[in-house]
Amino acid sequence: MKKVEVVFIPSPGVGHLVSTLEFAKLLINRDNRLRVTVLIIKFPNSPAETAETPSFSDSENLHVINLPENAYVPSTSNVGSSVMALVETQKANVKEAVSNITGKLAAFVVDMFCTPMIDVANDFGVPSLVYFTSGVAFLGLVLHFHTLLEDNIEATRLLMQQDELDIPCFANPVPTNTLPTVVLRKEWESSFINYVRGLKKASGVIVNSFHELESHAVHSFLEDPGLCSFPIYPVGPVLNLETKPEPNGIVDSDDIIKWLDDQPLSSVVFFCFGSKGSFDEDQIREIAYAIEKSEARFLWSLRKPPPKGTMCETSDYSLSDLVAVLPKGFLDRTALIGRVIGWAPQAQVLAHPATGGFVSHCGWNSTLESIYYCVPIATWPLFADQQTNAFQLVSELKMGVEISLDYRMEYDVGRDYLLTSDKIEKGIRSVLEMDGEVRKKVKEMSEHCRKTLLEGGSSYTCLGSLIDYIMNHV
């Protein structure tokens, strides 16, 4: 039988790319009638972006194509708009690549920041599904605000002056200061409206989440007259649990795991802030003071900020630079209880029995990994959906403790305030609490997380419905 082709278009950036590739594997492993072609868009001059892809191109049902680079200078202030503008420049390349596909084309699956490609799917006469790498509640939030802004911009601006807001996809009132920057900043209004308009053109949205985790948010879609006709497919958790060693890291990943092997059960707090998470020297010192005062065992993935005004990934400090940014003598004083490293094999660290807590930026992939491995989070969001995820973890799901819910690190203006060592220390102590309610909740959800993709689980069933939808459009 001839294969049915599905075209995937991930957003540039390792977080989105890896998650998309994992979902593509999930799809073809479930139904061998499907063949996936992944079209990779890179930011100009970013060879590292595709470092994760070669091992995925071995399967006969998964084909990876790197699209030609177009001359394009990204804006530094609004990452989402920047990606979408880059995606616009790639429409002709996508059309050409898809025209060369020999199998029967059934659908496009485009990343949440690649919605301009829905126009290309329409040209080929096939449905387009958005792959949304955040949660159902965050999807509901952006759709809700889009509707408000389209109805009445001035009334919505007035509404935003309140301290908290009722949003259907959240069970509790949401503090306004935990909303995403794209909703809060007036100068991003038009790009936000255009972005969600693109999202609403999709035939449905595949969400990297699962019913048991976000049952209130999933039900809110079914109960909202404006959303009940908008199909969502929560098929998660879609995770890449095989961390590859990072070349030239300041600490070898095997050494990190060996060090963890020597630590007591659930005793280590892991600090890690994602591929784009970094801090200035003042904030680094506050973290160091907090670690010393807490006397907790720690593993700290400390990354060097990219050059100001760029959207590059973070990099590792050299040892001499590391000594310079930390308080004098910190590495010597803490040598027996902790390690400061650069890049971290995050999944391996979270999976290790010695890891007892995770100080995290609350990126959605990291949130799902921490739940999967049963590690409570102390929330420290930086940008994008992370403030809302932090609120959701602490107030909705009761599966996180708060260091901050509203800390922001914007590309164009830097951090909005300094988090003091007292607050960080309190978070470290809370997240390591051995018999806390939070730990029990995480343990329960971890069990759901592992079962939901097995036969009979909600995500397994949802993936089946999605495949039926795709096959019915051939």
Mean pLDDT of 356-365: 97
The answer to whether 176 and 164 are in contact (CB under 8 A) is yes
Are 88 and 129 members of one domain? yes
The predicted structure's pLDDT at residue 52: 41
User: Among the listed ranges 30-39, 79-88, 147-156, 317-326, which one has the minimum average pLDDT value?
Assistant: 79-88
DSSP per residue over 419-453, as a string?
PPHHHHHHHHHHHT-TT-HHHHHHHHHHHHHHHTT
Distances (CA, A) of 308 to 18, 305, 325: 26, 8, 17
DSSP per residue over 178-240, as a string?
GS-HHHH-GGGHHHHHHHHHHHTTSSEEEESS-TTTSHHHHHHHHH-TTTTTS-EEE------
Determine how many CB atoms are found less than 10 A away from the CB of residue 319. Answer: 12
The predicted structure's pLDDT at residue 13: 76
Mean pLDDT of 430-434: 93
Task: Report if residue 381 sits inside a domain.
Answer: yes
User: What is the domain-level CATH number for residue 29?
Assistant: 3.40.50.2000
Are 293 and 161 members of one domain? no
Task: Report if residue 463 sits inside a domain.
Answer: yes
Task: Report if residue 248 sits inside a domain.
Answer: no
Two structure tokens written together for 127 = 């449905």
Three-state secondary structure call for residue 337: coil
Are 55 and 147 members of one domain? yes
The predicted structure's pLDDT at residue 49: 40
The predicted structure's pLDDT at residue 57: 52
Are 315 and 435 members of one domain? yes
Are 230 and 378 members of one domain? no
Residue 288 has pLDDT above 70, yes or no: yes
Task: Report if residue 366 sits inside a domain.
Answer: yes
Are 282 and 409 members of one domain? yes
Instruction: Provide the pLDDT confidence category of residue 54 given band limits of 50, 70 and 90.
Output: very low
Mean pLDDT of 429-450: 95
The answer to whether 21 and 29 are in contact (CB under 8 A) is no
What is the separation of C-alpha 125 from the centre of its chain, rounded to a whole number of angstroms?
A: 31
The answer to whether 448 and 212 are in contact (CB under 8 A) is yes
Task: Report if residue 243 sits inside a domain.
Answer: no
Are 440 and 464 members of one domain? no
Mean pLDDT of 401-409: 96
Tens digit of each residue's pLDDT (9 = 90 or more) over 137-195: 999 999 999 999 999 999 999 999 999 999 999 999 999 999 999 999 888 898 899 99
Proportion of the chain above pLDDT 70, given as a percent = 92
Instruction: Provide the pLDDT confidence category of residue 253 given band limits of 50, 70 and 90.
Output: confident
Are 33 and 139 members of one domain? yes
The predicted structure's pLDDT at residue 48: 45
B/e letters for 265-282, b = 16+ CB within 10 Å, e = fewer, are: ebbbbbbbbbbbbbbeee
Are 277 and 159 members of one domain? no
Are 275 and 212 members of one domain? no
The answer to whether 194 and 113 are in contact (CB under 8 A) is no
Are 32 and 150 members of one domain? yes
Mean pLDDT of 240-247: 62
Distance separating alpha carbons of residues 183 and 368, to the nearest angstrom: 24
What is the separation of C-alpha 90 from the centre of its chain, rounded to a whole number of angstroms?
A: 24
The predicted structure's pLDDT at residue 392: 98
The answer to whether 29 and 244 are in contact (CB under 8 A) is no
The answer to whether 362 and 137 are in contact (CB under 8 A) is no
Task: Report if residue 393 sits inside a domain.
Answer: yes
The predicted structure's pLDDT at residue 313: 77
Residue 45 has pLDDT above 70, yes or no: no
Task: Report if residue 245 sits inside a domain.
Answer: no
Task: Report if residue 246 sits inside a domain.
Answer: no
Considering only CA atoms, which of 34, 50, 21, 226 is closest in space to residue 131? 21
Are 148 and 55 members of one domain? yes
Distance separating alpha carbons of residues 22 and 242, to the nearest angstrom: 11
Domain, as residue range, for 62: 4-236+452-471
Number of domains comprising the chain: 2
